Amino acid sequence: MFKASARFAALLTLILSAAANHVFAASLPADEARIDVGGYRMNSLYLKARRPDLPPIVFIHGASANLYDSVFSFRDLLEGRADLLFVDRPGHGRSDRGGQENAFPDGQADAIADVMTKRGINKAIIVSHSFGGAVAASFALRHPDRVLGLVFLSPAVYPWPGGIAWYYDAAKVPVTGALFSAIVVPPVGLAMIDSATRSVFAPNPRPPGYIKEARALQALGPKAFRDNAIDVANLLEWTKRNSPRYGRIHAPTVIISGDTDSVVSPDIHARHLARAIKGARLLMIHNMGHKSDYVARDLAVAAIESVAGRPRDLKRPAARLEAEIARDHEK
């Protein structure tokens, strides 16, 4: 699904961490805050609208990411139109990991519900990408009274064949996994981040400035990488137990996925989810890869408007997007 010497690696890790902290700390907006949610802190960015025309929107990012992935995609399109809450999932970005329950979508969904409460948001439209789709599904099952609508972007929500990538297996185990994440991941990840991020967007081109603006290097931090590996490893078992319950979700739902997504199979995940949730609308976009949260961001905004109760013909923006990306062929 989710497809040097020790001294040098340790030194490189320190250098990367110091550089990242220096760059990121200088640009932290005033509305970003780490909030205590019961013994640990969750980080979020809250942008309150003065005259909103849409209900509050909560964004849940995917694997190997942080809240700035969603900020990069949606802030310029939605700021001022709604109260926007971007959350670092537990163990990602600047959020603490918290207890063992946060290694599963259920714990993460509850943590996000706590952040919403602390930020003064009672109900919201939940927008999720990839792994975040499982957290959003859990949220809808565990906190249905707080969901006004759901927009799933390339969701990872069902069991899949083949297990997980070898590097997740290596990182998740005790002791040696921590060593692997600290010694091997930073230098190798740094060397591969350009090609890796391009492949996630493929066949669509990666937008300029993505690695910097989405703060993608945060995912190479030893703790973040290992927590992410544990998340992905636990997701498979979680989907086996919980995917039969998706039929209990009754919120207005739109699912957007690409038919050339090589990271999360649209046939295994998006199509099944659309069948499971009564009334869900599936938009399968031809020649779109995994990064629907960016490539299909205009369509996603239309979907948000739709689940908010606005009359929107989603076929037109979907057709327009397909025409725009028809010739994309990035590898």
Q: What pLDDT is stored for residue 30 in this prediction?
A: 67
Give the burial class of 316: count Cβ atoms within 10 A of its Cβ; 0-12 exposed, 13-18 middle, 19 or more buried: exposed
Cα(97)–Cα(34) distance, rounded to whole angstroms?
12
Overall average pLDDT of the 309-327 stretch? 97
Candidate from 82-86, 167-171, 260-264 with smallest mean pLDDT:
167-171
pTM over 0.85: yes
Q: Phi and psi dihedrals of 132, rounded to 5?
A: -60, -20
Domain boundaries, the chain: 6-325
Q: What mean pLDDT do residues 72-100 have?
A: 98
What does the pLDDT read at residue 8? 38
pLDDT in tens, 258-296: 999 999 999 999 999 999 999 999 999 999 999 999 999
pLDDT of 110 above 80: yes
| pLDDT(113) > 50 | yes
Task: Kindly indicate the confidence band of residue 1, based on its pLDDT and cuts at 50, 70 and 90.
Answer: low
Examine the pLDDT at 14 and tell me if it is beyond 80: no
Query: Per mean pLDDT, which range of 91-100, 124-133, 165-174 is the poorest?
Result: 165-174
Determine the Cα–Cα distance for residues 179 and 223; give it in Å rounded to an integer: 10
Domain 6-325 grouped into CATH 3.40.50.150: no
